[in-house]
Amino acid sequence: MQKLYFLLGLFFFTNFASAERPNIVWFVVDDMSANFSCYGETTIQTPHVDRLAREGVKFTRAYATSPVCSTFRSAMITGMYQTSIGSHHHRSGRGAHRIILPNGVQPVPKLFQDAGYYTCIGSGLPDRDYRSQPVSARTRNRLGKTDYNFDWDKSIYDSHDWSGRQPEQPFFMQVQLHGGKLRGASATQYENFDQQVKAVFDEATAPSQVMLPAYYPRDPILLKDWSTYLDSVRITDHHVGLVMQRLRKEKLIDNTLIIFLTDHGISHARGKQFLYDEGTHIPLIIRGPKVNQGTTRTDLVEHIDVAAVSLAAANIEIPKTMQGQNLLAPDFQPKQAIFAARDRCGEAVDQIRSVRSERYLYIKNFYPQRPHLMPSTYKDGKLIIQRLRELHMNQRLSQLSEKLLFAPTRAAEELYLYGQDKWQTINLADDPQYSQTLAEHRQRLDQWIEETNDPGPETLEVYTLETEDQMKATKNKTTRESYRANTELYKRWAQEGN
């Protein structure tokens, strides 16, 4: 069977050899907002991503349709909203409960493979892994991060690197990088990462140079975390530069479409897992054949669009079921609205939906009686969250921080004005002046939910299956018992209608 697939691939490759078939390279980075100097970051410099932007098109209003890894990646690799394919609950479909893609939906690598492309996913460098550290026996041939919430066949990837392809065969490569996860979540991990940073740049970023969103206190622990995060951006930029250098050395750069994006925003109290800009606004840069250089686009786009862009560039038909759009098509019409969803993350049950228009962000909280920082073994395991909780207990947070992070309930609806409220701190939903705008966005979101077959929350039975499966995979007893206690709390809240 493998020989048959190879011969079919060779057939497709031979028949399309004379056509323009660029290589496709995706840079997909974990847990990182648009903190690059080409996007306005001033504390650090990111020359290699900046160069990509100068040589291609930079999107300033690109957003993730989901602010957490697995749901983002499930959407990205199918070009579909994660809610439309039932993959909207984080790390789901891995155990007793299985998730099958709807009819007509296939992972993008399979579409490339069927068209004769060599498909690969890894670090993009033969001597560096996804953490930008020297490869070891364990990581040398390791495939890159997938994290899909549905059943899929590993054969959709031919290798971890494009070097194994046939001569002149085009390739589809995903360079998967650890990004913001490099900094870790504890003081010890910060210190260890500092050594990696100093080995590349001589010195780490000083915490005193950091500018934080207004709702985070200028506390030494939070400042150190953010400066270490910015150093993870620098390491990521350095890795991108090395991959680009390799493409130039191998004389592949002129016939390669490069797409750079992150999988959601910074992992923080109001970032990752939430639908504010800190959680969903991402960098998106496209460089390559037929792409206008030095262009900046300010229209609204979604991360699922990269699938359609890539297929179109390779002259592969975009499936009619695909919800992502080819942003580079001559007849592309700017979107009037884009959407995002957050659902269960780990044991933490939530349901949030949002719609963005040119001037507004509308958010609907389906569980407004639950606090913003709900119990979560993932979130609560981070030093920054522990510190915020400590400051809250000692009444050392500002009024804004208390309101946005530690209020016992949330507003059922939120409405923010784009461009005048950078961090979405002023909720206009109760302002009579915006009542018509609120109603219009509410209707627009309801229509999207219906049109895209958003299934909403899991049943109690499925929640139990999914959380039991995650507990079985948790080796640390303390973490496991904390997770178990949290699941019982969420079940009780559900029974109480909370």
Rounded Cα–Cα distance for residues 83 and 66 (Å): 9
State the average pLDDT over residues 359-374: 98
Position 350 pLDDT exceeds 50: yes
Give the chain's domains with CATH numbers.
2-332 (3.40.720.10)
The pLDDT score that the predictor gives to residue 104 is 93
The pLDDT score that the predictor gives to residue 456 is 97
SS3 261: strand
Rounded Cα–Cα distance for residues 456 and 69 (Å): 19
Strand blocks (E) in 106-159: 118-122
The DSSP annotation for 162-222 comes to: GGGSPTT--EEEEEEE-GGGGG-SSHHHHHHHHHHHHHHHSSPPPGGG----TTS---HHH
* CB-count burial class (<10 Å; 0-12, 13-18, 19+) for 389: middle
Position 468 pLDDT exceeds 90: yes
- The rounded mean pLDDT for the chain is 95
Position 12 pLDDT exceeds 60: no
Contact by Cβ (8 Å): 352, 78:
no
* CB-count burial class (<10 Å; 0-12, 13-18, 19+) for 14: exposed
Phi, psi of 26 (to 5 degrees): -105, 130
Give the model's confidence band at 63: pLDDT under 50 very low, under 70 low, under 90 confident, else very high: very high
How far is the first Cα of the chain from the last one, in angstroms, to the nearest whole number?
53
Position 470 pLDDT exceeds 90: yes
Rounded Cα–Cα distance for residues 468 and 212 (Å): 37
Which carries the bigger pLDDT value, residue 138 or residue 75?
A: 75
The pLDDT score that the predictor gives to residue 5 is 39
DSSP-derived letter for residue 318 is P
Residues 6+ positions from 368 with CB-CB distance below 8 Å? 409, 410, 411, 412
Which carries the bigger pLDDT value, residue 367 or residue 4?
A: 367
Report which of 31, 30, 13, 11 is spatially closest to residue 21, judged by C-alpha positions: 13
Position 4 pLDDT exceeds 70: no
Contact by Cβ (8 Å): 87, 75:
yes
How many other CB atoms sit within 10 Å of the CB of residue 229?
A: 26
State the average pLDDT over residues 288-305: 97
Length of the chain: 498
Position 14 pLDDT exceeds 90: no
Rounded Cα–Cα distance for residues 55 and 389 (Å): 44
The pLDDT score that the predictor gives to residue 20 is 75
Span of 19-23, 131-135, 201-205, 485-489 with lowest mean pLDDT = 19-23
How many other CB atoms sit within 10 Å of the CB of residue 253?
A: 18
Position 304 pLDDT exceeds 50: yes
Q: What percentage of the chain has pLDDT greater than the value 90?
A: 95
What are 211's two structure tokens?
Answer: 């500018």
The pLDDT score that the predictor gives to residue 317 is 98
Indicate the pairing of strand 23-29 with strand 360-365: unpaired
